[in-house]
């Protein structure tokens, strides 16, 4: 990936391909962190579209940063043009996943704090 980044510079399509690879690579070492760093580079930092925000939301979810993940996916939904039902469904699924993981995390944390057996 580093070699491709060095060659690609700020070529948007190449950066999107790398984002996609990091998004698919759930178990890559530092994958979520690298995805966030890559999505903050030009050409994305000035204008993050719905796909970049979708990928950021997934990375933030993997890192347990649920409030930021929800903010990113909600922004992605706001920016998505009308009529793109396939991408809309992907965004809604990611939003549901974020809230489900957040709720499970909060539930388990509450059970641990209250001293209940798990």
pLDDT in tens, the chain (118 residues): 889 888 988 888 999 999 999 999 988 999 999 999 999 988 887 778 999 999 999 999 999 999 999 999 999 999 999 999 999 999 999 999 999 999 999 999 887 666 665 5
- Distance from C-alpha of 38 to C-alpha of 36, rounded to nearest angstrom: 5
Task: Report how far apart, in Å, the C-alpha atoms of 1 and of each of 54, 99, 103 are.
Answer: 21, 31, 34
- Distance from C-alpha of 98 to C-alpha of 57, rounded to nearest angstrom: 8
Q: What is the CATH number of domain 2-113?
A: 1.25.40
Exposed (0-12), middle (13-18) or buried (19+): which is 102, by Cβ within 10 Å?
A: middle
- Which pLDDT does position 20 carry in this prediction? 93
Domain ranges of the chain: 2-113
- Which pLDDT does position 114 carry in this prediction? 64
- Which pLDDT does position 103 carry in this prediction? 96
- Distance from C-alpha of 105 to C-alpha of 112, rounded to nearest angstrom: 11
- Which pLDDT does position 115 carry in this prediction? 64
């Amino acid at each position: 990936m580093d070699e491709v980044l060095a060659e690609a510079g700020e070529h948007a399509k190449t950066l999107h391909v790398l984002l996609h690879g990091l998004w698919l690579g759930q178990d890559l070492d530092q994958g979520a962190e690298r995805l966030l760093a890559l999505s903050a580079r030009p050409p994305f930092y000035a204008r993050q579209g719905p796909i970049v925000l979708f990928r950021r939301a997934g990375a933030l979810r993997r890192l347990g940063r649920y409030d930021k993940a929800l903010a990113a996916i909600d922004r992605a939904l706001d920016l998505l043009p009308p009529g793109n039902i396939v991408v809309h469904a992907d965004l809604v699924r990611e939003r549901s996943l974020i809230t489900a993981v957040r709720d499970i995390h909060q539930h388990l944390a509450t059970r641990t704090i209250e001293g209940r057996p798990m």
